[in-house]
Copies of this chain bind each other. A is one copy, B any other.
Amino acid sequence: MRAPAVMLALVTFVVSACQPFRPLASLIVIGQHVITMNPAGAVLSPGAIAVGGDDGSTILAVGPPEEVVRRFAAREILDASSEVVLPGLVNTHTHAPMVMYRGLVDDLALMDWLNSYILPAEAKTVSPDMVRVGTRLAALEMIESGTTTYADMYYFEEEIAKATREAGLRGVLGQTVIQFPVADAKTPADGLARAEAFIRTFKGDSLIVPAVAPHAMYTLDAAALRAAADVARKYDVPVLIHLAETEDELKQARARHQMSPTAYLESIGFWGPRTVAAHGVWVDDEDIAILAKRRVAVSHNPESNMKLASGIAPVTTYARAGVTVGLGTDGAASNNDLDMFEAMRQAALLAKLATRDPTAVPARDALAMATIGGATALGLDALIGSLEVGKRADLLTVATDSARETPLYDPISHVVYVARGTDVRTTIVNGRILMRNRRVLTLDSSTVIADANRVAGAVRAAVAR
């Protein structure tokens, strides 16, 4: 693998030296393979990406290395010529600070897990400090595993937004609205007021897209659900909600409303565009037709759904119905990590098992869900999700040189079936290098981890009591 790398560097240098009058790119990334995820599905082997523009955040060119270096001078050349380059991964559903509850309790049913352990732990330990420390830990993990954009639903979302911006990640962040009293709001109205203030503060930010996050149809009454949707419409921001995660939820909805969760939300006029429904496991054809008609996207969370035995979201049916599907990890308390490579691999494997068709969700489709699919779900496909001229430079490079990574016949198969978060070498968001050769530049790892271990001590004590 090193011979081509040396040759590429040489070609780059020679071509570069012979072309003195070229526009300046802030960065050129040269990869052994560049998976663009553009509409034509182009994979360049090798390939290069020039990054620049006014604030250095924009993709200026994608093409063969000789061509890109002929057209652009570069302030920096990032040599990933023995690596695979791909669009940044988009996590469409998580609760970042819940990394603080990673592995606290496992192997329980959702309602038991939630009501007997997670909610009591949250009641005792959620605070602005815990949220800030947890988000920093989550951001470190996400940068280290190639996630460049994530959608979040939690409390004290302004702390999450600040920590996300400092880490340099892109976030679609939703302040939670929920019926019962929580750490940052006594009532849904309090939560909504917080959500409005949050949206006003962060609207127009280059990295943060503020959103509103009504928790679920079973934890909010119709008035609060409608009010949340109204706030989203008023400010034109995304809505993030849990939907049809468990059979219990379906049964409860039928008992209370004589309707499925999806149909109930339709009946109260909740659904609007730029809405991401997380899980979407317990849906029938009518529900899927509603989601397609309202252009609601689904966040598929295969690992969490397996671990909590919630069921399997019908992703191939969604795709046929024209519903956009993105991938999510869910919170680390039910996963137990934020690694989108695991989510991709699991989405590909689970679809095969569920449909009994090993051709279902081939590697390319799983990668699409984790990139352009997620971007589309969040309403950000004009900006991110693929490596195309004019989009933001959100990308990562993946190593190919260990025993496990040998041989490499097909870069897309490699990324989905072999690569792990730990194989990511470089993570770039908005043209800024957040991690270089596995060293995170925007967060001090040891401080972040020490802070997290301090908060974990408090969590341990709270649960022991």
- A403-419 to B contact mask, C-beta < 8 Å, 1/0: 11011111001100110
Quick check: which of A27-35, A270-278, A357-365 contacts chain B, the rest being far away? Answer: A357-365
Does A259 touch B at the CB level, under 8 Å? no
Does A353 touch B at the CB level, under 8 Å? yes
Quick check: which of A184-192, A214-222, A307-315 contacts chain B, the rest being far away? Answer: A307-315
Bound together, the chains give a CA A19 to CA B308 distance in angstroms of: 51
Contact partners of A401 in chain B: CB under 8 A:
449
Contact A307 B410 (CB under 8 A): no
In chain A, residues 396-452, which have Cβ atoms closer than 8 Å to a Cβ of chain B? 401-404, 406-410, 413-414, 417-418, 420-423, 445, 448-449, 452
Most chain B CB neighbours (cut-off 10 Å) among A352, A406, A414: A406
Quick check: which of A139-147, A193-201, A204-212, A290-298 contacts chain B, the rest being far away? Answer: A139-147
Contact partners of A346 in chain B: CB under 8 A:
349
Contact A404 B352 (CB under 8 A): no
Contact B445 A403 (CB under 8 A): yes
Bound together, the chains give a CA A307 to CA B305 distance in angstroms of: 18
Contact A352 B307 (CB under 8 A): yes
Contact A418 B109 (CB under 8 A): no
Given the known interface contacts A106-B363, A107-B358, A357-B309, the answer about A336 and B417 at a Cβ–Cβ threshold of 8 Å is yes
Closest-by-CB residue of B relative to A455 is B407
Does A103 touch B at the CB level, under 8 Å? yes
Bound together, the chains give a CA A102 to CA B339 distance in angstroms of: 22
- A333-367 to B contact mask, C-beta < 8 Å, 1/0: 00111110000001011101101111110110000
Contact B353 A100 (CB under 8 A): no
Contact of A406 among B306, B312, B417, B449 (CB under 8 A): B449
Does A110 touch B at the CB level, under 8 Å? yes
Contact partners of A378 in chain B: CB under 8 A:
none
Most chain B CB neighbours (cut-off 10 Å) among A109, A337, A417: A417
Contact B349 A103 (CB under 8 A): no
- Report A's interface with B, CB cutoff 8 A: 1, 99-100, 102-104, 106-110, 113, 137, 140-141, 144-145, 303, 305-309, 311-312, 335-339, 346, 348-350, 352-353, 355-360, 362-363, 401-404, 406-410, 413-414, 417-418, 420-423, 445, 448-449, 452-453, 455-456, 459-460
Given the known interface contacts A337-B418, A349-B307, A456-B409, the answer about A144 and B358 at a Cβ–Cβ threshold of 8 Å is no
Number of copies: 2
Write 7 A-B pairs (CB below 8 A) sorted by A numbering. A99-B406, A103-B409, A107-B348, A306-B352, A338-B404, A406-B449, A422-B423
Contact B363 A448 (CB under 8 A): no
Given the known interface contacts A104-B409, A306-B350, A422-B422, the answer about A144 and B414 at a Cβ–Cβ threshold of 8 Å is no
Bound together, the chains give a CA A107 to CA B365 distance in angstroms of: 11
Contact partners of A445 in chain B: CB under 8 A:
403
Contact partners of A108 in chain B: CB under 8 A:
358-359
Given the known interface contacts A106-B417, A309-B352, the answer about A452 and B137 at a Cβ–Cβ threshold of 8 Å is no
Contact B349 A418 (CB under 8 A): no
Closest-by-CB residue of B relative to A421 is B404
Contact B404 A145 (CB under 8 A): yes
- Minimum C-beta distance from A33 to chain B (A): 13
Contact A358 B307 (CB under 8 A): yes
Contact A103 B303 (CB under 8 A): no
Contact partners of A403 in chain B: CB under 8 A:
137, 140-141, 144, 445, 448-449, 452
Contact B417 A103 (CB under 8 A): yes
Closest-by-CB residue of B relative to A361 is B107
Closest-by-CB residue of B relative to A416 is B106
- Minimum C-beta distance from A421 to chain B (A): 7
Bound together, the chains give a CA A413 to CA B307 distance in angstroms of: 12
Contact partners of A113 in chain B: CB under 8 A:
358
Bound together, the chains give a CA A140 to CA B405 distance in angstroms of: 11
Contact A336 B413 (CB under 8 A): yes
Contact of A363 among B1, B107, B311 (CB under 8 A): B107
- Minimum C-beta distance from A301 to chain B (A): 12
Contact of A106 among B312, B413, B455 (CB under 8 A): B413
Contact partners of A311 in chain B: CB under 8 A:
353, 356
Most chain B CB neighbours (cut-off 10 Å) among A137, A305, A352, A407: A407
